[in-house]
Amino acid sequence: MALRLIQSLEQNGISHQELFAWTEDQWYQFLEPAGKAKDKAPVCYRLMQKIREDFRSPENLNLLGRFSDEQLINYLTTLPGIKLKSALCVMLYSLNRAVFPADSHCLRILNRIGCIHLDIRSKQQREQAQAELNQAIRGDYQLCYELHTLFIVHGKKTCGRIPRCELCCLKPLCAYSAAST
Ligand code: SF4
């Protein structure tokens, strides 16, 4: 759905400058097809408002390229609605930084395999694991990018909420699969 929303911006020729000036109502209209517009529209509006205050125009966002990784994490996580995982996604995919955003797919798969041990329902444990995995994996852009995209594909196609272990190439290594056979 996120991809479709981005494509709709491109198809409708919405410039960065226009996006900068959107009202909360415009965010609502834009997000409505994806659901959760009531919750997300005010957050997107406040986030853009803060970026506007800090950078004045979209062109100035290039200044983020001069920030160190730590400065970026510190800045991005001050924005409304942005936590560590989202900040790391922006850094990896928009700023080409060698960081590793451990999203729900990564955590679920690593937990099932037995590489990490956490109560996946615990927000505190998830956030701690995200920080630790970034510390452990960051530093090699290609590795971070490929590993993250592979976890997403594997999580969507094979190791989802109901895992399809019979189709999985990781089965010989996997604690979850071993325990359930
Ligand atoms: S074997 Fe099953 S639980 Fe383990 S990673 Fe593959 S799909 Fe997930």
Ligand 1 atom closest to Cα of 174? 4
Please tell me if the CB atom of residue 91 comes closer than 6 angstroms to any atom of ligand 1: no
Tokens of 3: 């991809």
Mean per-residue pLDDT for 69-93?
Answer: 96
- With a CB cutoff of 8 Å and minimum separation 6, the contacts of 139 are 98
Q: Which CATH class is domain 2-94?
A: mainly alpha
Number of residues written out for the chain: 181
Q: Could you read off the pLDDT of 30-56 as tens digits, one per residue? A: 999 888 899 999 999 999 999 999 999
Q: Are 119 and 166 in contact (CB under 8 A)?
A: no
User: Across 38-78, where does the E strand assignment appear?
Assistant: none
Ligand 1 atom closest to Cα of 168? 6
pLDDT at 38: 92
pLDDT at 1: 65
Percent share of the chain, pLDDT over 90: 83
Q: Are 45 and 23 in contact (CB under 8 A)?
A: yes
Residue 143 Cα to ligand 1 middle (Å): 21
Q: Does domain 104-179 have CATH number 1.10.1670.10?
A: yes
Residue 60 Cα to ligand 1 middle (Å): 44
Whose tokens are 């936590």? That residue is: 83
Q: Could you read off the pLDDT of 140-163 as tens digits, one per residue? A: 999 999 999 999 999 999 999 999
**CA 40 to chain CA centroid, nearest Å:** 15
**CA 34 to chain CA centroid, nearest Å:** 17
Q: Is the pLDDT of residue 87 over 90?
A: yes
Tokens of 165: 């272990």
Domain ranges of the chain: 2-94, 104-179
pLDDT at 34: 83
CA distances from 154 to 3, 38, 65, 168 (A): 18, 31, 31, 9
Q: Is the pLDDT of residue 70 over 90?
A: yes
pLDDT at 25: 96
